Amino acid sequence: MEQKIPAYQSPDVAYSLRMATEALQSGNYSRALEFIEKTLSIDPDSAMAWHEKANCLDEMGRCEEALNCYETAIRLDSNHAEAWFNKGLTLKKMGREKEAFDCMSRGVDLALGK
């Protein structure tokens, strides 16, 4: 009997995320989104992919959409320190200072193991 590997271990997921990261780093956010969408079509429960999608959307100025993606990432992995912190940065851009501080603080605490 053939053993099925989890979606997050799929070579297609790893490749798509790697390509998305490269596109993000070069500032090609629309290309990065294409790779992230491919990743999410294979593994819709990837907190990392949702976090990267949020980062892309934030860079594109699509803050409300980015917040929704950060929230999805956090729902999937409540200990995702970067998602918490970056959600806070997006909230700060939107002028939502109190929420921003709370999210960034949560992200820092998680990163420090608190």
**Can you identify the CATH homologous superfamily of domain 8-111?**
Tetratricopeptide repeat domain (1.25.40.10)
Amino acid at the residue 35: F
pLDDT in tens, 67-90: 999 999 999 999 999 999 999 999
pLDDT of residue 6 exceeding 90: no
Q: What is the Cα–Cα distance from 37 to 25, expressed in whole angstroms?
A: 17
> Which is higher by pLDDT, 6 or 112?
112
Residue 94 tokens, joined? 């939107």
| pLDDT tens column, 43-58 | 899 999 999 999 999 9
The length of the chain is 114
For the chain, domain boundaries:
8-111
| Residue type for position 73 | A
Collect all residues with Cβ–Cβ distance below 8 Å to 2 and sequence separation of at least 6. Answer: none
Mean pLDDT over 1-23 rounds to 70
In this prediction, residue 68 carries a pLDDT of 98
Name the residue type at position 14: A
Confidence of residue 9 (pLDDT cuts 50, 70, 90): low
